[in-house]
């Protein structure tokens, strides 16, 4: 099972999360590419640290929305979105290659992730940006989503992920961050939830029902309060149960 986290989300003097600590825990790092967070220095440092630790580097692409941290949906033409996805991948891959590594996959951030999960047009544009960079570049996406279907249609390798620290609707979508209980903070709950996801694919939704989210990777957000402890507990619960950890690519 892969364990991924959104990292490199500082900007200038503003710091977000503890990238150093998280890179000692996760197997894949979704690194912000400068559109929703991150800058040249942040991208360089995170790529260097990830390469040193053998952590797989992914491009965490988003809408061009620094002020809103990429969590506001934007009305952007598909061709423009494809270009901006391509731009972000190329920027991060430059730093990854300078660190003697490379970008191996792409994961959308925030509003782009949520929109492309259900909007076929936005999903196709996101996938087109990935495909234009390299046909072997993988896409990390929600199970049974428009994003997954668009990747499969375009011949882009697609892998499903589940969120250990987020609540799900009965439809299998992430509960809006505007609603209470959308983000989970209890370490025991999150660790147990992650283990169940990894071993059975099941997760209890916000209304008490069961979803089957067979995933290749589990995500814990780097900006969640207590993220390092959550990630550490998740890793411990998986390794204690004999679940092997490794990048999905």
Q: Is the predicted pLDDT of residue 76 greater than 90, yes or no?
A: yes
pLDDT band for position 86 (50/70/90)? Answer: very high
Helix ranges restricted to H, the chain: 19-23, 40-53, 78-98, 110-118, 120-133, 146-154, 187-200, 227-240
Identify whether the C-beta of residue 185 lies closer than 8 Å to the C-beta of residue 226: yes
pLDDT in tens, 170-196: 999 899 988 999 999 899 999 999 999
- Global pTM value: 0.95
* Calpha distance 159→27 (Å, rounded): 15
């Amino acid at each position: 099972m892969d364990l991924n986290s959104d990292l490199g989300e500082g900007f200038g003097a503003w710091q977000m999360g503890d990238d150093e600590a998280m890179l000692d825990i996760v197997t894949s790092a979704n690194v912000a590419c400068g559109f929703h967070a991150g800058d040249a220095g942040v991208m360089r440092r995170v790529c260097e640290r990830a390469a040193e630790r053998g952590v797989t580097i992914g491009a965490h692409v988003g809408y061009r929305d620094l002020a809103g941290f990429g969590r506001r949906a934007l009305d952007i033409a598909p061709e423009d979105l494809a270009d901006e996805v391509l731009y972000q991948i190329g920027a991060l891959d430059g730093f990854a290659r300078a660190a003697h590594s490379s970008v191996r996959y792409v994961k959308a951030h925030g509003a782009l992730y949520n929109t492309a999960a259900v909007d076929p047009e936005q999903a196709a544009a996101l996938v087109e940006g990935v495909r234009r960079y390299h046909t072997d570049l993988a896409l990390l996406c929600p199970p049974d989503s428009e994003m997954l279907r668009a990747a499969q249609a375009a011949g882009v390798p697609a892998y499903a992920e589940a969120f250990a620290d987020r609540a799900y609707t009965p439809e299998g979508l992430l509960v809006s961050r505007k609603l209470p209980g959308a983000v989970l903070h209890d370490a025991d709950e999150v660790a147990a939830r992650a283990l169940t996801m990894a071993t059975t694919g099941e997760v209890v939704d916000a209304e008490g029902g069961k979803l089957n989210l067979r995933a290749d990777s589990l995500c814990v957000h780097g900006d969640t309060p207590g993220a390092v402890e959550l990630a550490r507990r998740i890793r411990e619960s998986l390794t204690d149960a004999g679940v092997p950890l490794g990048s999905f690519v």
